[in-house]
C-alpha cells in the first residue's frame, strides 16, 4: 500500500523549511519590536468555543471544522483559527487583571479547515496572528495593521493593498441587517441556495457570495457604512486618521464583511496585487471583536487582531520574485581518506560544531571525489582534507572554497583559524 500526504496538507521539505525559519524570525523580530508576546494554546478546543465565537451560521462552523468526539464523549475541534482560543485563554487566565493593558499577544501554529483544496488554500495551514486585548482606542487598530504590513515589508513584498471597512457596533449592524433582508427578500429565489439560507441566518454574507456577485441587487444593496451611528463613524474616521499619520495607504470597501461572525467596528484585509498571484488574493485578514470575552463568560475586554498564513506569504514572495538569502549553509566539510583519518576527522567535526561552526563529514566511506562533490553541492565555505599523513603529523589541509587557496594548519589551531577566516 502507498501512503500519501492527506489532501489539502503538505510536507515542508528541507529545501523549503529554511524559508519558514526566515519568516518565523521576521515574525518574532517584529513582534518583539511592537512588544507582542508569544502565546501557545492547544491544537484542539471544545467545539462550543468556535460555535459561540466564530458563529454557528458561518461556513467555518457549518462545513469546515474537524470535529470529533473524544473518549470521554466530549465534542472537540481542531482549531480552525486562533482568535477564539487566545481569547479563551485570556479569560481563563484572568489576563484582564494584568496591570499593563492592553495585553498584546501573538501566535504561530497550524490551523485546520476542511476546505476545497486549491492554490493557497489548504486543510492544514500555519497562521501567524496577533491579538491586542483590553483597549478600544482606535490607535491600536492602526498599530495592529501596521504590524502586519511590517512583516510583509520585511519579507520583501511590495505589491500589497490594504482594504478596510467598519462593521459598526451591534445596534448599527442590526439595523443594516433588517435593511438587507428587506432588500433581498423579494427576489431571493434568483440567488443560489446558500444565499437563500443566508437571508435569515446571516444576510451580510450574501454580499460575499462568489456565485451571485454580479447580480444587480448586489450593487444597490444597502451599505453598512450608511447605517453606522455617529459614534461608530467617528471611530472609523479615527482609525483612518491614525493610518494616515503613519503614511499607510488604504482603500475603503463597504462590502468587506469577513467570514467570521465576531467582528465589529474595524475589519481589514491585506491583498496581494502581484500579477503572478493566484485567484485567492487575500494574504491577511483581521478586525475588532469587542464583546467576545463576554460571549464566553469573561469580563468586558475589547480586542483586535489579525491572522495571515505563512503559506500565502511565501506564495506572494514567489509571485513577486523576491527571495531570502539562505544563510543555513555549510561552513566546513571534513573530507577524509582511510579509517584512521575518518575517526580523526569525526572528532575534529565535533570540535568545530562545539565552536558553533556548521560542519559535516562523510558517513559512507566514499572516495575523495565523491566527498568533494558533496561539499560543492552544499556550498561549503571551507573543506578540510585529512589523509594518513595528516593524521601522523597532526595537521589538516584547509581549503577556502571561495578563493581556492589551500594551506596546512595544525590540528590544535583549526578552530581558531576558521573562526578568523569566517569573520
- Looking at beta carbons only, is 106 or 242 nearer to ligand HAM? 106
- Looking at beta carbons only, is 87 or 395 nearer to ligand HAM? 87
Least Å from the CB of residue 81 to ligand HAM: 3
| Per CB under 6 A, 161 contacts ligand HAM | no
Q: Which residues, numbered 120-159, are part of the site for ligand HAM (CB under 6 A)? A: 120-122, 125, 127, 129, 131
Distances (CA, A) of 9 to 73, 230, 316, 337: 27, 46, 19, 44
How many beta carbons lie within 10 A of that of residue 101, not counting itself?
A: 14
Q: Confirm whether residue 251 is marked as ligand binding.
A: no
Are 316 and 157 in contact, with CB atoms under 8 Å apart?
A: yes
DSSP letter (8 states) at residue 260: S
Chosen residue from 284, 315, 375, 398 binding ligand HAM by CB under 6 A? 284
Quote the cell numbers at residue 9: 496538507
Are 133 and 95 in contact, with CB atoms under 8 Å apart?
A: yes
Stretch that binds ligand HAM, among 26-34, 43-51, 301-309, 315-323 (CB under 6 A): 301-309
Give the whole-angstrom CA distance, residue 330 versus residue 376.
10
Residue 210, SS3 per DSSP: coil
Least Å from the CB of residue 172 to ligand HAM: 19
Q: Confirm whether residue 71 is marked as ligand binding.
A: no
Residue 233 burial class via C-beta count within 10 angstroms: exposed 0-12, middle 13-18, buried 19 and up: middle
| Per CB under 6 A, 51 contacts ligand HAM | no
**Ramachandran region, residue 40 (left: φ > 0; alpha: ψ -120 to 50; beta: rest):** beta
Least Å from the CB of residue 94 to ligand HAM: 21
| Per CB under 6 A, 36 contacts ligand HAM | no
| Nearest to 331, CA basis, from 297, 300, 355 | 355
Least Å from the CB of residue 35 to ligand HAM: 17
Are 308 and 127 in contact, with CB atoms under 8 Å apart?
A: yes
Ranges of H-type helices in 225-338: 230-245, 292-295, 310-319
| Per CB under 6 A, 173 contacts ligand HAM | no
Residue window 57-96: x/- pattern of binding to ligand HAM, with contact defined by CB under 6 A = ------------------------xxx-------------
- The length of the chain in residues reads 423
Give the whole-angstrom CA distance, residue 84 versus residue 240.
26
Q: Confirm whether residue 178 is marked as ligand binding.
A: no
| Per CB under 6 A, 55 contacts ligand HAM | no
Q: Confirm whether residue 72 is marked as ligand binding.
A: no
Q: Confirm whether residue 35 is marked as ligand binding.
A: no
| Per CB under 6 A, 240 contacts ligand HAM | no
| Per CB under 6 A, 302 contacts ligand HAM | no
How do beta strands 103-112 and 37-38 pair? parallel
| Per CB under 6 A, 309 contacts ligand HAM | yes
Give the residue ranges of the annotated binding site.
81-83, 113, 127, 131, 258, 262-263
- The footprint of ligand HAM (CB under 6 A) covers 81-83, 113, 115, 120-122, 125, 127, 129, 131, 259-260, 282-287, 289, 305-309, 311-312
Amino acid at each position: 500500500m502507498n501512503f500519501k500526504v492527506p489532501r489539502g496538507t503538505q510536507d515542508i521539505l528541507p529545501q523549503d523549511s529554511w524559508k519558514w525559519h526566515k519568516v518565523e524570525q521576521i515574525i518574532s523580530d517584529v513582534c518583539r519590536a511592537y512588544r507582542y508576546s508569544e502565546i501557545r494554546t492547544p491544537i484542539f478546543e471544545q467545539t462550543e468555543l468556535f460555535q459561540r465565537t466564530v458563529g454557528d451560521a458561518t461556513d467555518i462552523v457549518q462545513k469546515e471544522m474537524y470535529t470529533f468526539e473524544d473518549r470521554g464523549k466530549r465534542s472537540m475541534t481542531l482549531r480552525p483559527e486562533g482568535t477564539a482560543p487566545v481569547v479563551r485563554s485570556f479569560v481563563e487566565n484572568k489576563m484582564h487583571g494584568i496591570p499593563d493593558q492592553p495585553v498584546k499577544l501573538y501566535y504561530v501554529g497550524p490551523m485546520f479547515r476542511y476546505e476545497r483544496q486549491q492554490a493557497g488554500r489548504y486543510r492544514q495551514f500555519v497562521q501567524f496572528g496577533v491579538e491586542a486585548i483590553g483597549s478600544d482606542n482606535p490607535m491600536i487598530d492602526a498599530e495592529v495593521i501596521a504590524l502586519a504590513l511590517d512583516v510583509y515589508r520585511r519579507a520583501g513584498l511590495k505589491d500589497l493593498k490594504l482594504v478596510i471597512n467598519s462593521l459598526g457596533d451591534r445596534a448599527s449592524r442590526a439595523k443594516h441587517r433588517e435593511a438587507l433582508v428587506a432588500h433581498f427578500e423579494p427576489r431571493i429565489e434568483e440567488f443560489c441556495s446558500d444565499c437563500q439560507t443566508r437571508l435569515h441566518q446571516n444576510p451580510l454574507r450574501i454580499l460575499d457570495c462568489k456565485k451571485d456577485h454580479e447580480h444587480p441587487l448586489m450593487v444597490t444593496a444597502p451599505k453598512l457604512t450608511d447605517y453606522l451611528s455617529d459614534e461608530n463613524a467617528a471611530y472609523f474616521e479615527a482609525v483612518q486618521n491614525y493610518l494616515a499619520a503613519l503614511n499607510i495607504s488604504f482603500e475603503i470597501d463597504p462590502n468587506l464583511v469577513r467570514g467570521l461572525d465576531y467582528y465589529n467596528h474595524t475589519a481589514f484585509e491585506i491583498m496581494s496585487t502581484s500579477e503572478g498571484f493566484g485567484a485567492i488574493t487575500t494574504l491577511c485578514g483581521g478586525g475588532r471583536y469587542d464583546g467576545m470575552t463576554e460571549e464566553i463568560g469573561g469580563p468586558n475586554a475589547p480586542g483586535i487582531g489579525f491572522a495571515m498564513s505563512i503559506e500565502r506569504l511565501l506564495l506572494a514572495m514567489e509571485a513577486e520574485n523576491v527571495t531570502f538569502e539562505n544563510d543555513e549553509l555549510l561552513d566546513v566539510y571534513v573530507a577524509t581518506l582511510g579509517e584512521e583519518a575518518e575517526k580523526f576527522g569525526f572528532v575534529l567535526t565535533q570540535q568545530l560544531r562545539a565552536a558553533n561552526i556548521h560542519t559535516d563529514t562523510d558517513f559512507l566511506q566514499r572516495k575523495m571525489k565523491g566527498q568533494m562533490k558533496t561539499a560543492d553541492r552544499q556550498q561549503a565555505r571551507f573543506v578540510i582534507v585529512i589523509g594518513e599523513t595528516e593524521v601522523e603529523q597532526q595537521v589538516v589541509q584547509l581549503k577556502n572554497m571561495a578563493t581556492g587557496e589551500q594551506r596546512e594548519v595544525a590540528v590544535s589551531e583549526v578552530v581558531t583559524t576558521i573562526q578568523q577566516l569566517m569573520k
